[in-house]
Structure 1
């Protein structure tokens, strides 16, 4: 029997199981806070387009990054306040599609892809469409009882906010080095299509729940996060490059980890049948 979606939102995190309830209909007052954060994320992402139209590229990129940070906290605040709602779930998916699909596509097109008017626009469209398809897939699967990736603590494909961040990797390198090769439209068109494919792919990727550091390294992890934040302030473009490349390098390891879990589950099922 499928689970009721009435309390999911602003968007249930992709690595969390939906909650069931017979909650009251409508939007409660406490639900305004997380949904206001979602609206702020939407405004931030779309404002990035405005900056790009004016040629203020770094502000455009940071506006999308800010949208990603806000998107990361709205659902958690909703669950903390017990303010999940179907309205919030739909609003968040719409905001994600615009902030991490349409906005990056247009910003990237204005920055470099417009030098290839037809192929560049097709690459931008591919990115925006794949982002929307990814979010539609998430909404369609949210009621499914059997989700192998989620039950193992993994995501399916690259999440939309991370996809937007990875799409901008050539821009980070261009800002950090000034090398014109990183603004080459043909190379960037292929890059954007590749990231679009990763978003709608079925490969297992890490989620927050699958990253569980051992107790003996938690202090070191806290120190690392603090230093990473300082690096973002001092050398934002190199730091964003390292984060993006690091995530890409972790993807094969995520596949390896998920493969091990699948083998363990298969072995457990085999033992259960015997």
Structure 2
């Protein structure tokens, strides 16, 4: 009698590429920490941005090659906790917050801890009294990459203007605390759509090229404006979500969740793209 063939463990070969991109993002975040410890502030910030770009494409690559795995999702969360929680916290601490001693370290800890809590919150799905609804296009709170980019806003402005007031520990501590609270908030925020497709519109190519040119020519001005623009979008997204809930409730719409969609819209085996 022939015995059934045992299924070997491991991950499929097609999952190597997206996991490699995630690992590169993790290396970028860790190298940003090294740059911060050496006082290389611009390099540190740029490395966090590289990690954010890699985080934005790893999930798309995983879906493109059908390489979504639970292993990839867990690796992605670990990379995000370091690149968008620990790295920005240490950058801000070594740049400014160490000027107020233990209180500055407490603020840095809050940013790193709240980023990790955000990731754990949605990985566990503890807020999902109803299933998430992707068509509505919202996230709960500020996603981790956006939170990191918002937290570093004082550095963009400092690189841009050189004003010493922007490095004041009290000012940086207050801003960092606000961003940390946004990470774990229940505010509805717009969910950006970054999906790799075989064809994209010419207008999208124009926008991406213009953005790339702006980042090369005037990086800190561009990043500051992007961060401020995203901050302005938060009250707009909250109002939009509340109107959507009221409209669906009035028309008897089915399936609006009691909380906006989390950043883990894929099945558990899928790779997260916006934590």
**Could you state the TM-score of these two structures normalised by the residue count of structure 1?**
0.83
Instruction: Give the helix-richer structure, 1 or 2.
Output: 1
> How far 1:189 sits from its partner (Å)?
0.5
Higher relative contact order (CA 8 A, sep 6+): 2
Task: Give the number of equivalent residue pairs.
Answer: 242
| Local SS of the residue matching 1:205 | strand
Contact residue 166 and residue 195 of structure 1 kept, 8 A: yes
Contact residue 149 and residue 204 of structure 1 kept, 8 A: no
Q: Which residue of 1 aligns with 2:167?
A: 183
Change (3 A) 1:24 1:149: farther
Q: Distance in 2 between matches of 1:26 and 1:145?
A: 33
Q: Which residue of 2 aligns with 1:41?
A: 25
> How far 1:24 sits from its partner (Å)?
8.7
Q: Distance in 2 between matches of 1:180 and 1:174?
A: 7
From 195, 201, 206, give the equivalent of 2:179: 195
> How far 1:26 sits from its partner (Å)?
2.9
| 1:262 and 2:242 are equivalent in the alignment | no
Contact residue 48 and residue 64 of structure 1 kept, 8 A: yes
Change (3 A) 1:90 1:67: same
- When the two chains are superposed, the root-mean-square deviation of aligned CA atoms in Å is 2.2
Q: Which residue of 2 aligns with 1:243?
A: 226
Q: Which residue of 1 aligns with 2:272?
A: none
Q: Which residue of 2 aligns with 1:56?
A: 40
TM alignment of 1:1-274, pairs within 5 A: 26-141=10-125, 144=128, 146-147=130-131, 150=134, 152-209=136-193, 222-269=205-252
Q: Deviations over 1:68-92 (max 9, x none)?
A: 1001111110111111111111111
> How far 1:220 sits from its partner (Å)?
5.1
Q: Distance in 2 between matches of 1:24 and 1:138?
A: 30
Q: Deviations over 1:43-88 (max 9, x none)?
A: 0001001111111110000011100100111111011111111111
> How far 1:219 sits from its partner (Å)?
5.4
